[in-house]
């Protein structure tokens, strides 16, 4: 099956619209920090014939698929196997000093969700892996086997915002003493049995726990916390960044980083803002933009998206 059949890029037209002023410049360089199967990147390479792409992904399957998809663009494409907090090193390794556009499309990719054996989807029974980069790192099954009750509760609370975190942690500890929890189907069953009937009617009991495990396995929030400032530093003046987040923890982090970058550094009470205190960035959208009703109907994975964007106004003081 073609990558185009597996993946519909989220908010593609809006991303192009926001990044176009930066990518229409001569010799523009675009970084897709979350390349996935290359849907967004393919569109940008087609839309901007002079653009060079640096595509990053930690998932070797995604890099292989995107590499095949983007092969027609030849030496305009440089793909790098890295987590996106390695953005500065990836840009430098491509022989580039500053870039003109950066896109982050955060969260789990369509490829990872649709391939059952990756273990991301609670609706499909599979080994509990959840690693975005299967070449190394700890799996979800290993976390469930080794973390204590308190540690499990904390990650369910912090990364899943799960109100039943303590109950679920106790249930997992009890279940693993009988038999290792190696597959998503068994974990779903444990969570289901530990969930009051009234709560089950409000939504799938596994959703938040699976999200929390995925974030812990891939260290997504700590990686993003490092990646965003590095990305902002990599932008040339006039360069633009677009970030799409799919859950509230990521979106809050993006909001705060971009807001800080777009804030004046002038001391309180200063009657005139001096040039060195003016903001380095300006926000390009008010608040967070969401997908239209039409796009959500056409592409359900666009439903939770929150898009934020900014433009670099000046070099750091």
Residue 67's Cβ-side half-sphere holds a number of Cα atoms within 13 Å equal to 12
Distance in angstroms (rounded) separating the CA atoms of residues 161 and 163: 6
CA distances from 28 to 22, 38, 79, 180, 239 (A): 7, 18, 16, 51, 9
Q: Is 57 annotated as a binding residue?
A: yes
Q: Is 84 annotated as a binding residue?
A: yes
Distance in angstroms (rounded) separating the CA atoms of residues 188 and 95: 47
Distance in angstroms (rounded) separating the CA atoms of residues 224 and 252: 11
Q: Is 256 annotated as a binding residue?
A: no
Q: Is 185 annotated as a binding residue?
A: no
Distance in angstroms (rounded) separating the CA atoms of residues 305 and 223: 19
The answer to whether 30 and 52 have CB atoms below 8 angstroms apart is: yes
Q: Is 39 annotated as a binding residue?
A: yes
In a 3-state reduction of DSSP, which class is residue 87?
helix
Conformational region of residue 68, where left means phi above 0, alpha means psi within -120 to 50, and beta covers everything else: alpha
Q: Is 81 annotated as a binding residue?
A: no
Q: Is 122 annotated as a binding residue?
A: no
The vertex-9 CA angle with 6 and 11, nearest 5°, equals 155
Binding-site positions for S-adenosyl-L-methionine read 38-40, 57, 84, 105, 112
Binding-site positions read 38-40, 57, 84, 105, 112
């Amino acid at each position: 099956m073609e990558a185009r059949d597996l993946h519909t890029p989220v908010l593609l037209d809006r991303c192009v619209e926001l990044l176009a002023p930066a990518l229409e410049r001569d010799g523009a360089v675009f970084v897709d920090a979350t390349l996935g199967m290359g849907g967004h990147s393919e569109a940008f390479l087609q839309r901007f014939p002079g653009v060079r792409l640096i595509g990053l992904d930690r998932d070797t399957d995604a890099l292989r698929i995107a590499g095949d998809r983007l092969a027609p663009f030849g030496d305009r494409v440089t793909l790098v196997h890295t987590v996106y907090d390695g953005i500065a090193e990836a840009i430098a390794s491509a022989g580039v000093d500053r870039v003109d556009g950066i896109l982050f499309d955060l969260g789990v990719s369509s490829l990872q969700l649709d391939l059952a054996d990756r273990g991301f989807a609670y609706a499909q029974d599979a080994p509990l892996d959840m690693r975005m980069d299967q070449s190394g790192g700890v799996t979800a099954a290993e976390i469930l086997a080794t973390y204590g009750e308190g540690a499990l509760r904390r990650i369910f609370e912090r990364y899943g915002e799960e109100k039943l975190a303590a109950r679920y942690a106790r249930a997992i500890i009890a279940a693993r003493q009988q038999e290792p929890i190696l597959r998503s189907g068994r974990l779903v069953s444990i969570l289901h049995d530990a969930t009051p009937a009234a709560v089950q009617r409000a939504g799938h009991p596994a959703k938040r726990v699976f999200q929390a495990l995925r974030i812990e396995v891939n260290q997504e929030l700590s990686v993003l916390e490092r990646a965003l400032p590095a990305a902002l530093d990599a932008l040339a003046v006039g360069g633009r960044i677009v970030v799409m987040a799919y859950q509230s923890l990521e979106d809050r982090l993006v909001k705060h980083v971009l807001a800080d970058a777009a804030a004046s550094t002038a001391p309180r009470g200063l009657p005139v803002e001096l040039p060195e205190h003016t903001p380095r960035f300006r926000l390009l959208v008010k608040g967070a933009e969401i997908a239209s009703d039409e796009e959500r109907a056409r592409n359900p994975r666009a439903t939770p998206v929150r898009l934020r964007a900014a433009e670099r106004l000046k070099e750091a003081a």
